[in-house]
């Protein structure tokens, strides 16, 4: 038999192995060797360099469709260009994961990278897939790039002139864009015909969202700034493009932004981005923009990969075989027959290469001028594309199996550590895993924990009735009350509350008596000074350790409020350094992290943390069991606004008190803030006294990850596989590692 210590360690090592294997196998999906791309005998000979096309490709990070199309949008120039039909607006679909790197890859290569890129988003390696930048650079065109340095890491030798700005330091949203715009002076001077493609990637908008939230007043300002930049480029291209030349300006967003200012999930706000294309010069008049009256309200829906194919067509290059975008060039040229023939041949080749079971529209002699064939082909393109997009999302089945096996072994080992006098009810907690098979229950997982939280407290109250111990009844009621307060704390950020109410079933009873206040989180954010002062008083009263642990973070909040950034940075460094001594003196690492945690949370949540802390105290006072522990601890994870969507990860807290991008500190603060609920709960109930409870929780998390992986396998062709089931696995990995770690402390 394995000793207790052995079980403890082996279970954790196995879990880490399983996670590592999973990450590796997802990442490996993308590194599969690309087939040698033949060069198609393409020659640049027929084009004089003076008449070669020019392209300005401008990416605005987190530029969602409604930033441009809503009536309140300040981008008046771009909007007027679209309504005047000088420019064409498209409604592009940003597929999961909605983070920058995979979205850029889609624009560049016309292929959709797997979900694994969400994990490697921070560690970008050189791009191996055929893309338009390397291609045009190879045929001697000059590419200039200014913006997010991810591009430079993706394509290190492709840019003749470049400057990268760092994408991970989200508190900077002014300089990051000025450093791009200042290059426009030289790049857009008429004397300087130095580039064939100019690529700009503006990060400011995304950074405002991450650091100030989605309803910040800085957003309209930033949109106006972007509109001015577009106006400048437009003016330059219009004046400098001669009649025998073609110039294109493409403005697009990589992913959208939620109402809270984040992204990563699959809501329409995050997945619908605008793509605006201008054409200048030769055949400028020959545009098939269609005769819709409302070009701003109902733009044609496209995929992001379609833009890649369009750019290949702009430069008159053959589209690589991996790419499955549908070119949009037919909107900008008159030669429809050539367009249909080229696209048809491209997709025909892919269908043959991938052995897809889709029959062709017409075999050899297609009459591309026929109206019916054209419309049939359009439909066929979409069918082939959706089939290819579906088959692109592979799941590494074998390693899933190995992972599940490793986790099951770890689960048995960790369950061997449970106390011997178990009641049957301890196993009830595993039943919750059943809910993971329904996608909507994953999305609403917080509701399940909240409801169960209330239920376990109520059951405890009922069992207490026969003894009728007054103080105990009071504590139980107080616990239920705190739980209810904490549940509603961030309610208004939840999917159902943001959703258009017309989509939801109507209310059955009259709502005349109702009033609609904002939730606590929003109200408290409006009066920061009062909130900080009162919260610190409450905390001083409620926290039994040294008061010094509370005062420092509160001072830091004040410094930030009055924008004394430099002092705050020094103080934050001091707080970070004090983790170790405090952990030593209090005997608990979690208590040591408390000052840092209090310093990085948004002002409105200081009170919530106190509520959770007190719940933990009540928990240990009432001496509740493992089911109650797991339910309340998991509820506390969701109190702070977390969900199973990556878009609820808050980067704001991760960057508090940092003036540059420091990956380790950012990672630490991100983890601390994301798990602030469980940390505070454990602080309250004094983690060292509930080792066996933590064991139950760890076992539950392993079983939960196991279930998620099985779901990933079963539902690999499900519509929501990338938007719901895969992020769930990512969260499960984080949970299992976090609670495994907590057990060590």
Contact flag: residue 628 with other proteins (CB under 8 A): no
Q: Report CA torsion sign: 730, 651, 603, 565.
A: positive
Contact flag: residue 206 with Zn ion (CB under 5 A): yes
Q: How far is the CB of 99 from Zn ion (least distance, A)?
A: 7
Token pair for residue 254?
């990589």
- 308 vs 521, beta carbon nearer other proteins: 521
Q: What is the DSSP letter of 464?
A: H
Contact flag: residue 481 with other proteins (CB under 8 A): yes
Q: Return the residue matching tokens 């819709």.
A: 292
3-state secondary structure of 470: helix
DSSP H helices, 488-578, are 495-498, 520-526, 528-542, 548-561, 565-577
The answer for residues whose C-beta is within 8 angstroms of residue 340's C-beta and 6 or more apart is: 330, 366, 368, 373, 374, 377
Q: Please name which of 276, 270, 267, 275 lies closest in space to residue 256, comparing C-alpha atoms.
A: 270
Contact flag: residue 270 with Zn ion (CB under 5 A): no
Which of 515, 544, 563, 664 binds other proteins (CB under 8 A)? It is 515
Q: How far is the CB of 111 from Zn ion (least distance, A)?
A: 22
Distance between CA atoms of 144 and 164, rounded to whole angstroms? 11
Interface segment toward Zn ion; rule CB under 5 A; list 203-211, 403-411, 563-571, 682-690:
203-211
Please give the backbone phi and psi of residue 63, each rounded to the nearest 5 degrees, phi first: -90, 95
Q: How far is the CB of 699 from other proteins (least distance, A)?
A: 25
3-state secondary structure of 71: coil
Q: How far is the CB of 580 from other proteins (least distance, A)?
A: 41
Contact 69, 297 (CB under 8 A): yes
3-state secondary structure of 690: helix
Decide which of Zn ion, other proteins, none touches 206; Cβ closer than 5 to 8 Å per partner kind. Answer: Zn ion
- 451 vs 562, beta carbon nearer other proteins: 451
Distance between CA atoms of 643 and 446, rounded to whole angstroms? 7
- 605 vs 650, beta carbon nearer Zn ion: 650
| HEC sequence for 711-740 | HHHHCCCCCCHHHHHHHHHHHHHHHHHHHH
Q: How far is the CB of 447 from other proteins (least distance, A)?
A: 5
Contact flag: residue 480 with other proteins (CB under 8 A): yes
For Zn ion, how many residues bind (rule: CB under 5 A)?
A: 1
Which of 3, 71, 512, 623 binds other proteins (CB under 8 A)? It is 512
Q: How far is the CB of 163 from other proteins (least distance, A)?
A: 46
Which residues make beta-bridge pairs with 87?
Answer: 278
Q: Which residues of 297-321 are buried (b: 16+ CB within 10 A; e: fewer)?
A: eebbebbbbbbbbbbbbbbebbbbb
- 385 vs 669, beta carbon nearer Zn ion: 669
Interface segment toward Zn ion; rule CB under 5 A; list 87-95, 199-207, 404-412, 563-571:
199-207
Q: How far is the CB of 488 from other proteins (least distance, A)?
A: 7
Interface segment toward other proteins; rule CB under 8 A; list 8-16, 133-141, 436-444, 626-634:
436-444
Decide which of other proteins, Zn ion, none touches 3; Cβ closer than 5 to 8 Å per partner kind. Answer: none
C-alpha distance from residue 296 to each of 58, 78, 272, 278, 674 (Å): 19, 10, 14, 15, 39
Tell me which residue has its CB nearest to Zn ion.
Answer: 206
Contact flag: residue 148 with Zn ion (CB under 5 A): no
Distance between CA atoms of 323 and 350, rounded to whole angstroms? 9
Decide which of other proteins, Zn ion, none touches 507; Cβ closer than 5 to 8 Å per partner kind. Answer: other proteins
Q: How far is the CB of 401 from other proteins (least distance, A)?
A: 30
Contact flag: residue 511 with other proteins (CB under 8 A): yes
Interface segment toward other proteins; rule CB under 8 A; list 327-335, 420-428, 481-489, 663-671:
481-489
Which uninterrupted H or E stretch holds 107? helix 100-109
Decide which of other proteins, Zn ion, none touches 504; Cβ closer than 5 to 8 Å per partner kind. Answer: other proteins
Which of 3, 507, 623, 689 binds other proteins (CB under 8 A)? It is 507
Decide which of Zn ion, other proteins, none touches 744; Cβ closer than 5 to 8 Å per partner kind. Answer: none
Phi-psi region of 583 (alpha: psi -120 to 50; beta: other; left: phi over 0): alpha
For other proteins, how many residues bind (rule: CB under 8 A)?
A: 38
Distance between CA atoms of 111 and 133, rounded to whole angstroms? 14
- 467 vs 664, beta carbon nearer other proteins: 467
Contact flag: residue 498 with other proteins (CB under 8 A): no
Contact 99, 118 (CB under 8 A): yes
- 206 vs 270, beta carbon nearer Zn ion: 206
Token pair for residue 417?
């550590």
The answer for residues whose C-beta is within 8 angstroms of residue 644's C-beta and 6 or more apart is: 442, 443, 445, 724, 727, 728, 731
Decide which of Zn ion, other proteins, none touches 444; Cβ closer than 5 to 8 Å per partner kind. Answer: other proteins
Q: Which of residues 701-740 bind other proteins (CB under 8 A)?
A: none
Which of 293, 363, 364, 514 binds other proteins (CB under 8 A)? It is 514
Q: How far is the CB of 619 from other proteins (least distance, A)?
A: 17
Which of 293, 508, 664, 689 binds other proteins (CB under 8 A)? It is 508
Contact flag: residue 500 with other proteins (CB under 8 A): no
Contact 102, 113 (CB under 8 A): yes
Q: How far is the CB of 458 from other proteins (least distance, A)?
A: 8
- 420 vs 508, beta carbon nearer other proteins: 508
Which of 48, 357, 506, 689 binds other proteins (CB under 8 A)? It is 506
DSSP for 510-536, please give it: --TT---PPPHHHHHHH-HHHHHHHHH
Distance between CA atoms of 73 and 296, rounded to whole angstroms? 12
Contact flag: residue 451 with other proteins (CB under 8 A): yes
Contact residues for Zn ion, defined by CB under 5 A: 206
Contact residues for other proteins, defined by CB under 8 A: 438-441, 443-444, 447-448, 450-451, 454-455, 458, 462-463, 465-466, 480-481, 483-484, 487-488, 503-517
């Amino acid at each position: 038999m394995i000793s207790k210590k052995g079980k403890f360690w082996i279970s954790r090592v196995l879990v880490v192995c399983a996670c590592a294997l999973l990450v590796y196998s997802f990442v490996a999906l993308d590194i599969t060797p690309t087939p040698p791309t033949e060069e198609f005998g393409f020659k640049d000979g027929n084009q004089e360099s003076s008449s070669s096309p020019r392209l300005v490709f401008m990416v605005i990070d987190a530029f969602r469709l409604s930033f441009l199309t809503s009536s309140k949008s300040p981008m008046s120039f771009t909007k007027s260009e679209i309504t005047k039909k000088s420019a064409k607006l498209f409604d592009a679909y940003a597929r999961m994961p909605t983070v920058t790197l995979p979205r850029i890859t889609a624009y560049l290569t016309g292929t959709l990278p797997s979900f694994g890129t969400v994990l490697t988003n921070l560690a970008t390696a050189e791009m191996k897939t055929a893309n338009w930048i390397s291609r045009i650079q190879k045929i001697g065109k000059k590419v200039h790039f200014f913006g997010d340095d991810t591009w430079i890491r993706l394509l290190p030798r492709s840019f003749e002139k470049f400057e990268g700005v760092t994408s991970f330091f989200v508190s900077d949203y002014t300089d990051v864009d000025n450093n791009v715009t200042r290059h426009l002076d030289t790049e857009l001077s008429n004397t300087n015909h130095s580039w064939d493609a100019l690529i700009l990637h503006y990060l400011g908008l995304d950074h405002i969202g991450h650091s100030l939230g989605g309803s910040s007043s800085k957003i309209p300002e930033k949109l106006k700034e972007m509109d001015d930049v577009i106006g400048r480029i437009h003016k330059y291209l219009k004046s400098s493009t001669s009649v025998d030349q073609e110039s294109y300006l493409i403005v697009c967003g990589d992913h959208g932004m939620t109402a809270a200012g984040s992204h990563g999930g699959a809501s329409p706000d995050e997945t619908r981005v605008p793509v605006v294309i201008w054409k200048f010069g030769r055949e400028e008049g020959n545009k098939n923009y269609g005769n819709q009256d409302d070009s701003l309200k109902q733009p044609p829906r496209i995929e992001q990969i379609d833009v890649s194919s369009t750019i290949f067509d702009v430069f008159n290059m053959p589209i690589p075989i991996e790419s499955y975008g549908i070119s949009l060039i037919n909107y900008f040229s008159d030669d429809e027959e050539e367009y249909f023939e080229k696209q048809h041949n491209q997709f025909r080749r892919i269908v043959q290469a991938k052995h897809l079971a889709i029959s062709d529209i017409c075999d050899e002699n297609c009459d591309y001028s026929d109206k019916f064939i054209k419309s049939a082909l359009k439909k066929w393109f979409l069918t082939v594309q959706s089939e290819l997009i579906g088959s692109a999302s592979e799941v590494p089945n074998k390693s899933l199996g190995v992972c599940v096996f490793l986790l099951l072994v770890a689960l048995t080992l960790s369950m061997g550590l449970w106390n011997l006098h178990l009641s049957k009810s301890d196993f009830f907690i595993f039943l919750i895993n059943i809910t993971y098979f329904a996608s909507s229950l994953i999305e609403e997982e917080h509701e399940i924990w909240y409801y169960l939280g209330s239920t376990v407290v109520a059951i405890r109250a009922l069992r207490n009735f026969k003894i009728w111990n007054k103080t105990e009844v009071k504590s139980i009621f107080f616990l239920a009350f705190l739980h209810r307060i904490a549940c509603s704390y961030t309610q208004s950020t939840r999917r159902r509350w943001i959703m258009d109410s017309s989509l939801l079933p109507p209310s059955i009873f009259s709502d005349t008596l109702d009033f609609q206040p904002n939730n606590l989180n929003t109200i408290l954010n409006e009066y920061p000074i009062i909130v900080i002062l009162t919260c610190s008083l409450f905390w001083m009263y409620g926290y039994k350790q040294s008061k010094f642990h509370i005062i420092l973070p509160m001072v830091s909040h004040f410094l930030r409020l009055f924008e004394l950034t430099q002092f705050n940075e020094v103080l934050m460094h001091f707080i970070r350094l004090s983790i170790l001594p405090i952990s030593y003196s209090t005997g608990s690492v979690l208590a040591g992290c408390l000052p840092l945690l209090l310093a990085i949370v948004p002002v409105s949540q200081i009170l919530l943390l106190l509520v959770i802390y007190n719940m933990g105290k009540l928990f240990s006072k009432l001496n509740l069991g493992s089911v109650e522990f797991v339910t309340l601890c998991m509820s506390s994870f969701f109190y702070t606004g977390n969900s199973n969507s990556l878009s609820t990860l808050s980067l704001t807290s991760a960057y508090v008190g940092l003036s540059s991008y420091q990956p380790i500190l950012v990672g630490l603060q991100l983890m601390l803030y994301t798990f602030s609920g469980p940390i505070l709960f454990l602080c309250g109930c004094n983690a060292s006294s509930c080792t066996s409870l933590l064991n139950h929780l760890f076992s539950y998390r392993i079983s939960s990850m196991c279930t998620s992986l099985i779901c990933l396998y079963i539902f690999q062709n499900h519509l929501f596989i990338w938007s719901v089931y895969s992020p769930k696995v990512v969260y499960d990995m984080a949970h299992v590692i976090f609670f495994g770690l907590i057990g060590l402390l």
